[in-house]
Amino acid sequence: MTAADSPPSNDGHPDDVRADVPEQEPVDRDLGRRRLRAALNSRPTRGQLVAAVLCALLGFAVAVQVRANQDAGLSGLRQTDLVRILDDVTERSARLQAEARELEGTRDKVSGSGTRAALDEAHQRSRTLGILAGTLPATGPGIEFTISDPAGKVTSDVLLDALQELRDAGGEAYEIGQIDGAAVRVVASTYLSDASGSDPRAGIAVDGRVLTSPYRFRVIGEPRTLAAALDIPGGVLDVLRQREAQGIVTQRSELTISSLRPVPEPEYARPAPQKSSN
Amino acid sequence: MIAVIGLLVGIVAGLFLEPSVPAWLQPYLPIAVVAALDAVFGGLRALLDGIFDDKVFVVSFVGNVLVAALIVYLGDQLGVGSQLSTGVVVVLGIRIFSNAAAIRRHLFRA
């Protein structure tokens, strides 16, 4: 406490770094400890009080700074650092937003309204195709056309003519059956033939299934158009009359075609990749 | 002795009062703390050398803090604040280490 100067603390002489060499002399032995002890035991003077105040200030500042640093707030940072952090955050946020958009798109694709519409459309399409292919029952207005053939002169070509007339008249779903028996759903690939070569009484095979008179067509379509198509001069009804058969057309506002045909699994054909959705 | 007590009192006060550092002081406080630490270590070494003086300690303490703050301020104005702060901390750290080495030799003769 009595010496005159403390150069190591404040002026950074080169001696500071290599000042240790002379102090290893035995003369200094225990001198430092004695001085320390003396300083600790000494009575406070005014100068010491000032030093103590400064030390208190240092401790206070250390504690405050450590505490503030633990808070790790942004307020203590420089402007350049803040700008850098802001850039980082902005970039990160943009990246995350892009990611979020991507994920939202995926979510919409998986479960969103767009998919639902596509799904509904696909369902609608499948229903339409099911009616056309005869795999779904169909209901709607239409006609029943009954042919009774007591003379046995109605051959398959007559029924085929009748069917073609009804197709031309805009029929949408057909079945051919017996009055009280089984019915066969008529589709694009349906064929009609005489069941046994020359004798019409044996019946008519529709898609290989033999039907006998009286036959009954049930057709969904515009009832009046369908009925008119059969009634044209020289048309189906005239032919039937010529063959001593009787054709009765009944218009119905509501009829249901419930006969179905199995869905054929194509063995060779595969769906070609679609170029555009249609 | 009273200086050690002062240091402890200061730390305790800082911990319990939990004052918030004013914004204008925030860049300077860490450097000022390091500079003051350097002054304290220098003072301790001078004490062990038997050449401690209150006035010199006070002047070196305040001077260190002010110069450190000035350097940081200047660095901020020049746009090299963070680099200059690092430099100041490195220099002061070296001084603290050399002072600590001298103190160690005094106390433990090693």
What are A169-207's pLDDT values in tens digits?
888 898 988 887 778 888 888 888 887 766 666 788 888
Taking an 8 Å cut-off on Cβ atoms, the answer to whether B52 and A33 are in contact is: no
**B4 assigned to some structural domain:** no
For residue A254, report the phi and psi dihedrals to the nearest 5 degrees: -150, 120
Mean pLDDT, range A12-18, rounded to an integer:
43
**B3 assigned to some structural domain:** no
Task: Determine the pLDDT at residue A15.
Answer: 42
Taking an 8 Å cut-off on Cβ atoms, the answer to whether B1 and A44 are in contact is: yes
Q: What angle in degrees, to the nearest 10, is found between the helix axes of B29-49 and B81-108?
A: 20
**A147 assigned to some structural domain:** yes
Q: How far is CA A123 from CA A116, A119, A220, A257, A270, in A?
A: 10, 6, 21, 20, 20
pLDDT at A63 over 50: yes
Decide if B53 contacts A101 (C-beta within 8 A): no
User: Pick from A60, A50, A14: which is nearest to B52 by CA?
Assistant: A50
Q: Output the CA torsion B28→B30→B35→B41 (10° steps).
A: 160
Q: Who among B45, B50, B58 is closest to A54 (CB)?
A: B58
**A92 assigned to some structural domain:** no
Mean pLDDT, range A100-117, rounded to an integer:
79
Taking an 8 Å cut-off on Cβ atoms, the answer to whether A36 and B107 are in contact is: yes
**B11 assigned to some structural domain:** no
Task: Determine the pLDDT at residue B95.
Answer: 92
**B86 assigned to some structural domain:** yes
CATH number of domain containing A227: 3.30.70.1880
Taking an 8 Å cut-off on Cβ atoms, the answer to whether B56 and A60 are in contact is: no
Q: How many domains does chain A have?
A: 2
What residues of chain A, 134 to 153, have a C-beta less than 8 Å from chain B?
A: none
SS3 A275: coil
Element (H, E) at A54: helix A46-71
Segment among A28-32, A224-228, B87-91 with least mean pLDDT = A28-32
**A125 assigned to some structural domain:** no
Task: Please report residues of A whose CB lies closer than 8 A to that of B80.
Answer: none
Residue A219 pLDDT level (bands cut at 50, 70, 90): very high
d(CA A182, CA A207): 13
Residue A23 pLDDT level (bands cut at 50, 70, 90): very low
Taking an 8 Å cut-off on Cβ atoms, the answer to whether B26 and A75 are in contact is: yes
**A4 assigned to some structural domain:** no
Q: How far is CA A245 from CA A115, A179, A239, in A?
A: 55, 15, 9
User: Pick from A55, A19, A24, A36: which is nearest to B99 by CA?
Assistant: A19
Q: What angle in degrees, to the nearest 10, is found between the helix axes of A46-71 and B29-49?
A: 140
Q: How many domains does chain B have?
A: 1
d(CA A11, CA B80): 24
**B51 assigned to some structural domain:** yes
Taking an 8 Å cut-off on Cβ atoms, the answer to whether B57 and A53 are in contact is: no
> Does residue A149 share a domain with residue A62?
no
> Does residue A233 share a domain with residue A147?
yes
**A247 assigned to some structural domain:** yes
Task: Please report residues of B whose CB lies closer than 8 A to that of A49.
Answer: 2
The domain of B30 spans: 23-108
What are A110-169's pLDDT values in tens digits?
776 667 777 888 888 888 888 888 888 899 999 999 988 888 888 888 888 888 888 898
d(CA A217, CA A175): 6
A171 Cβ contact partners less than 8 Å away, ≥ 6 residues apart? A142, A219, A220, A221, A226
ipTM: 0.80
Identify from A1, A2, A5, A10 which residue to disrupt to test chain B contact, counting B C-beta atoms within 10 A and taking the largest count. Answer: A10
**A94 assigned to some structural domain:** no
Taking an 8 Å cut-off on Cβ atoms, the answer to whether B13 and A23 are in contact is: no
pLDDT at A12 over 70: no
The pLDDT > 70 percentage for chain A reads: 81
**Cβ burial A246-277 (10 Å sphere, 16+ → b, else e):** bbebeeeeebebebebeeeeeeeeeeeeeeee
Task: Determine the pLDDT at residue A90.
Answer: 94
The domain of A61 spans: 21-69
Q: What angle in degrees, to the nearest 10, is found between the helix axes of A79-111 and A113-133?
A: 20
**A45 assigned to some structural domain:** yes
Q: What is the pLDDT along chain B (110 residues), one digit of tens a residue?
A: 677 788 888 888 877 877 777 777 777 888 888 898 898 888 888 888 888 888 888 888 899 889 988 888 888 888 888 888 888 889 999 999 999 998 888 888 77
The residue type of B47 is: L
Taking an 8 Å cut-off on Cβ atoms, the answer to whether B50 and A58 are in contact is: no
| Average pLDDT score over chain A | 79
> Does residue A247 share a domain with residue A167?
yes
Q: Who among B39, B47, B98 is closest to A10 (CB)?
A: B39
**B14 assigned to some structural domain:** no
Residue A232 tokens read as 């044209």
**B1 assigned to some structural domain:** no
> Does residue A250 share a domain with residue A157?
yes
Task: Please report residues of A whose CB lies closer than 8 A to that of B5.
Answer: 52
**B43 assigned to some structural domain:** yes
